[in-house]
Amino acid sequence: MLSLLTRIRRVTTDRAQSRGRRSREAAPGPRLRTAALFGALIGALVMLLHHTSPTGVNLLWRLELLSYDWRISLRDPVTPDDIVIVAIDHESISNYGAWPWPRALHAELLNRLADAGARVVGVDIVFSDVSSGIDLNSDDWLSEKPLSGDDEALRAAIAGAGMVVLAAEINESEQARGDMETTVTSASFPHEDFKDAAASIGIVNFDKDVDSAVRRMVVSREYQDDVWPSMATAVYEIATGNVELPDALKAPRPHLYLPGGTVLINYTGPAGTVTTIPYYQAVSPELVGAEAFSGKIVLIGGTAPLLQDIHLSPVRGRQSGEMPGVEVQANSILTLLSQRFLWPVPVWLTWLLTLAVAVGAALGTASIRPIVVVPTLIIPLLLLLVLVPTWLLVNMGVWVPIVAPLLAMLLSYASVAVYMYLLEARARQAIRAAWQRRVAPEVLDVILRDPKLAYVSGRRTVATALFSDIRGFTTMCDEMEPEGVVEMLNEYLSEMTRVIRRQGGTIHKFIGDGIMAVFGDPIPNDDHADQALVAALEMHKRLYEMRVTTQNACIRQLQIGVGIHTGDLVAGDLGSDEFMEYTVIGRTVSLASRLESMNKEFSTGIIISGDTRAHLKHEYEMTPLGPTEIRGVADAIELFAVTLPERQPVHVTPLADEGQT
């Protein structure tokens, strides 16, 4: 028995080394088709959940935005040379007092910038009215006040510079009117005198995503049938002299994440990356020289938190992604100037990638064991889905979504792994039910670890077949009550089954009072001939013990014959569509059955063939019967009668390299 366990361990080790190859070769088509269907359905479901506009509230979309921010933040910040921010910061407010400041101060700054040779000046301040306001106590309160001296100075500075872009706002809000909600659009444009003096007007509103971050700039906005450029577009047109936008912005791009008229901002870095000069220093030539502004685009805007022009950007700095609105405008302008645009891949490509990853993960999990597929497929695929899109966005400006493919891959793996587990559990239950009464527990454990041993479409192997039969059973049945026959036969077969299984044999069938067993299948075993002969000797020994100890008169009369032959046989699942059974067939099985019946002719208890004797590894006491003609066999077969045990148990001296039995 120990030699059997040694062989089982060796076979188990060999099979474990080739498990991956055999799993791929043996993967059933229906299981792969089911797995592919799982993957396709999961991929489509994930994309449907992911397929939403940037203004929609969607968890997958929020995660995708976070992944975009993480990748964008990996780039090294680059300080641009051609743009400068004049900041209305905390220091400047400390110097000039509370906001708003006299417009003459703005005029002084504009004159300074014009004298310094600034290329374009963008003012991120909406001068929607004159500084003197409206006197409600005056009789002519319906009419606007004329420009004050400060206003005149500002208008003259704007007109004199000739390259100033003033800010305007167009706001949309949802308002309830009865049972209906309507979109109300309002605008705040510069005063007509300032508007006429300016080189252009730019809209400074931002389109924000669901997490309130500013990732996109608006190319233009429509208001009362007029189209107004954004601040970035207006500054770009004046700085370059082009009234036409880059061709890249005109080409239709069918992608999911950018609403019409918006472009992803290619940020140069987190807040503070763009050169920033405090307002109070920019006004003073003694503090900042003209070279700081010469030939550059200058943006004037608030950076102090109290001005409430702080927004969330996708680029995370050391603390947060907050960035002043004027620096967001600067990054938008730089995106247009550099024409290094960021583009999402088309929607169809995202669908294709998600479906391919989901189906691939599902097929891989179904073809390879779920535990093995994690390090061999899932982890490499996960790294590929993260690293390649990250490189593409950081270096090429191509936004490949990663949340949908990753989620689809993981869900496909998990669902197919559960499906495989349920299938395997069901198969193990079926195998256990079919084999637990045929083989020893140790053999059953090996089969359960490798269920393919139990399901064979057909294979040829060398094994030893054993047939046993009760002598005179038909006459005995005629003389006994049916209940007694069944009781006696069940007791006998139970004992013989235990003996055969203990020696590593597989019970294939009971043919009335006969037993058909095979040694060396389904688990290959070099000791199958010895196991079969030891089992036959033990069967006679156990039957002798039963006859001595039983009170059943019928059992005391039992005599059995055993036939054993070794050779090639075919093993496989045989049967019909309604009933299938694993069995063995071939000349070896037929000869073993013939040898069993020849015990009557020779008055023996065990007959083995010469082929079985040639496979034996130990010495046994036996008598040659000589070459014997057997019906249905062309050549005579050497036969041997094995001496039966009586009161003493069977002892087999093992070989030097094997353990004790």
pLDDT, tens digit, 9 for 90 and up, residues 491-541:
889 999 999 988 988 888 888 889 999 998 877 888 999 999 999 999 999
Question: Rounded to whole angstroms, how far apart are CA atoms 278 and 90?
Answer: 9
According to the model, what pLDDT value does residue 4 have? 38
> Residue 12: pLDDT band by 50, 70, 90 thresholds?
very low
According to the model, what pLDDT value does residue 117 have? 93
According to the model, what pLDDT value does residue 489 have? 87
Domain 456-642, what architecture? 2-Layer Sandwich (3.30)
- The two tokens of residue 185 are 């659009």
> What percent of the chain shows pLDDT beyond 90?
44
φ, ψ (nearest 5 deg) of residue 472: 70, 25
Assess whether pLDDT exceeds 60 at residue 453.
no
> Residue 2: pLDDT band by 50, 70, 90 thresholds?
very low
Reduced 3-state DSSP string for 144-186? CCCCCHHHHHHHHHHHHHCCEEEEEEEEEEEEEECCEEEEEEE
According to the model, what pLDDT value does residue 529 have? 94
DSSP symbol at 213: B
> What percent of the chain shows pLDDT beyond 70?
79
Question: Rounded to whole angstroms, how far apart are CA atoms 230 and 578?
Answer: 76
Mean pLDDT lowest among 344-358, 535-549, 550-564, 607-621: 550-564
φ, ψ (nearest 5 deg) of residue 109: -65, -40
According to the model, what pLDDT value does residue 317 have? 67
The answer to whether 233 touches 242, Cβ cutoff 8 Å, is no
Residues 6+ away with beta carbon under 8 Å from 258 = 54, 216, 264, 344
According to the model, what pLDDT value does residue 472 have? 74
According to the model, what pLDDT value does residue 357 have? 95
Q: Which residue has the higher pLDDT, 257 or 526?
A: 526
Q: Give the angle 160-166-171 at the CA atoms, nearest 5°.
A: 165
Q: Which residue has the higher pLDDT, 140 or 393?
A: 393
Mean pLDDT lowest among 25-34, 159-168, 276-285, 365-374: 25-34
Across 93-108, average pLDDT: 92
Per residue in 171-190, pLDDT (tens digit) is: 877 666 666 667 778 889 99
Assess whether pLDDT exceeds 90 at residue 168.
yes
Assess whether pLDDT exceeds 80 at residue 165.
yes
DSSP symbol at 287: T
The answer to whether 188 touches 155, Cβ cutoff 8 Å, is no
According to the model, what pLDDT value does residue 507 have? 85
Nearest to 462 by CA among 323, 287, 615: 615
How many CB atoms sit inside 10 A of residue 205's CB? 17
φ, ψ (nearest 5 deg) of residue 397: 75, 25
Assess whether pLDDT exceeds 60 at residue 13.
no
Mean pLDDT lowest among 432-436, 582-586, 610-614: 432-436
Nearest to 645 by CA among 528, 562, 553, 556: 562
Alpha helices in 467-609 (DSSP H): 473-479, 482-502, 528-549, 587-602
Mean pLDDT lowest among 156-165, 251-260, 546-555: 251-260
Rounded to 10 degrees, what is the CA torsion of 10, 11, 13, 19? 170
According to the model, what pLDDT value does residue 635 have? 83
Assess whether pLDDT exceeds 90 at residue 632.
no
Question: Rounded to whole angstroms, how far apart are CA atoms 347 and 25?
Answer: 36
According to the model, what pLDDT value does residue 370 have? 80
According to the model, what pLDDT value does residue 175 have? 66
Assess whether pLDDT exceeds 50 at residue 490.
yes
According to the model, what pLDDT value does residue 619 have? 92
Mean pLDDT lowest among 375-384, 422-431, 641-650: 641-650
Look over the chain and give the mean of its residue pLDDT values, rounded to a whole number: 82
According to the model, what pLDDT value does residue 14 have? 43
Dihedral sign of CA atoms 439, 440, 441, 447 in order: negative
Assess whether pLDDT exceeds 50 at residue 649.
no
Nearest to 311 by CA among 186, 169, 208, 204: 208
Mean pLDDT lowest among 457-471, 574-588, 594-608: 574-588
Residues 6+ away with beta carbon under 8 Å from 12 = 446, 449, 450
Across 354-367, average pLDDT: 91
Across 258-265, average pLDDT: 80
Question: Rounded to whole angstroms, how far apart are CA atoms 417 and 361?
Answer: 10
- What single letter denotes the amino acid at residue 538? E
Question: Rounded to whole angstroms, how far apart are CA atoms 503 and 562?
Answer: 15
According to the model, what pLDDT value does residue 631 have? 80
Question: Rounded to whole angstroms, how far apart are CA atoms 625 and 68?
Answer: 87
Per residue in 103-126, pLDDT (tens digit) is: 999 999 999 999 999 999 999 999
Polymer length of the chain: 661
Enclosing H/E stretch for 90: helix 90-96
Q: How many Cα atoms are found within 13 Å in the side-chain-facing hemisphere of 422?
A: 6
Rounded to 10 degrees, what is the CA torsion of 493, 495, 498, 503? -100
Mean pLDDT lowest among 50-54, 422-426, 629-633: 50-54
What is the number of helices (H) and of strands (E) in the chain?
22, 23
Domain boundaries, the chain: 29-53+63-72+348-430, 83-133+141-344, 456-642
CA distances from 464 to 305, 558, 564, 609, 624 (A): 90, 25, 7, 10, 19
- The two tokens of residue 56 are 């929609």
Assess whether pLDDT exceeds 50 at residue 648.
no
According to the model, what pLDDT value does residue 481 have? 78
Per residue in 282-308, pLDDT (tens digit) is: 999 899 999 999 999 999 999 999 898
According to the model, what pLDDT value does residue 137 have? 52
Per residue in 539-559, pLDDT (tens digit) is: 999 988 888 887 777 777 788
Across 121-139, average pLDDT: 74
